[in-house]
């Protein structure tokens, strides 16, 4: 039987690529600096009997002996916001834990917080613009655009210095995401719909104009995380030069009649 590597060796050998980039771009800064806890909105979910001691021991033993490569391949954390495409009154902050498979394809697990008790509530896959354009026309309607999320400053990499954050998000410009939410554990202004992941999956969408996100949701995130979205917007303004028109920018426009402008570079295709 293969001798398991020590946790210290695993940590060093599998240091996420983004963490390495952060250390190179911003020496002297920790990749985790400035990240604030975001507990799930409904910490009591799901119901069930508390873990027994033998269950915890079995889990720890399995963790030490098993190869958990798919999970340890997660290499970056994105914090952003979603609105459900067929239910535009459903808004929430979404914590994405992602693996960059290659330069054009990323896959993410979505949680309702960033603490140990956070719940898995969905999945997102991210495609580059060229890969998106190769999809069948009927499939393209399920993929939301990302340029507003980046240029507005709403999408962040918590704990990553601004120079590395901008470099990482530059690579996501003109990309598209397909996101399914599987469990409503509580969203803006509303308690959990159910304490278990029941019901049909919901297709999530992106915001594409100022005023679409409900008042207070963005501000609450910024207060908790100690960041200034308006400042990030200014810092990223030059990325508009590489922004292409995107499909999906106007898909929810009629549902947000009070929405106003968008940053330069956010245009409908």
Q: Is the dihedral of CA 10, 105, 229, 190 positive or negative?
A: negative
Domain residue ranges of the chain, discontinuous segments joined by +: 1-27+53-73, 74-269
Q: Do 174 and 77 touch, CB atoms closer than 8 A?
A: no
Gyration radius from the chain CA atoms: 19
Q: How many residues does the chain have?
A: 269
Residue-level pLDDT at 74: 93
Q: Which pLDDT value is given to residue 16?
A: 55
Which pTM does this prediction carry? 0.84
pLDDT tens for the chain, 269 residues: list them: 444 444 443 443 444 556 555 555 555 444 444 578 888 887 666 778 887 888 777 778 777 878 888 888 999 999 999 999 999 999 999 999 999 999 999 999 999 999 999 999 999 999 999 999 999 999 999 999 999 999 999 999 999 999 999 999 999 999 999 999 999 998 887 888 788 999 999 999 999 999 999 989 999 999 999 999 999 999 999 999 999 999 999 999 999 999 998 999 999 99
Question: Please, what is the Cα angle at 135 between 134 and 141, to 5 degrees?
Answer: 135
CA 22 from centre of chain: 18
Q: How far apart are CA 205 and CA 248, in angstroms?
A: 9
Quote the CA–CA distance of 69 and 15 in Å, as a whole number: 12
């Amino acid at each position: 039987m293969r001798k398991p590597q020590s946790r210290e060796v695993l940590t060093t050998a599998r240091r996420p690529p983004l963490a390495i980039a952060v250390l190179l771009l911003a020496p002297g800064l920790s990749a985790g600096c400035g990240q604030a806890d975001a507990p799930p909105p409904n910490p009591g979910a799901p119901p069930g009997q508390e873990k027994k001691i033998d269950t915890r021991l079995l889990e720890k033993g399995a963790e030490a002996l098993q190869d958990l490569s798919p999970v340890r391949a997660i290499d970056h954390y994105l914090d952003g916001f979603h609105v459900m495409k067929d239910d535009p009154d459903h808004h929430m902050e979404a914590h994405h834990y992602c693996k960059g498979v290659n330069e054009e394809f990323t896959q993410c697990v979505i949680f309702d917080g960033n603490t140990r008790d956070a719940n898995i509530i969905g999945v997102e896959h991210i495609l580059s613009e060229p890969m998106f354009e190769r999809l069948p026309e009927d499939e393209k309607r399920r993929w939301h655009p990302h340029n507003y999320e980046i240029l507005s400053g709403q999408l962040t990499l918590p704990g990553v210095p601004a120079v590395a954050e901008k470099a990482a998000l530059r690579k996501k410009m003109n990309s598209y995401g397909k996101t399914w939410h599987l469990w409503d554990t509580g969203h803006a202004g509303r308690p959990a719909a159910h304490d278990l992941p029941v019901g049909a999956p919901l297709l999530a969408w992106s915001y594409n104009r100022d005023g679409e996100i409900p008042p207070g949701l963005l501000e609450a995130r910024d207060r908790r995380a100690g960041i200034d979205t308006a400042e990030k917007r200014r810092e990223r303004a030059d990325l508009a030069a590489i922004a292409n028109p995107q499909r999906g920018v106007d898909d929810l426009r009629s549902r947000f009649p009070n929405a106003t402008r968008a940053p330069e570079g956010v245009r409908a295709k």
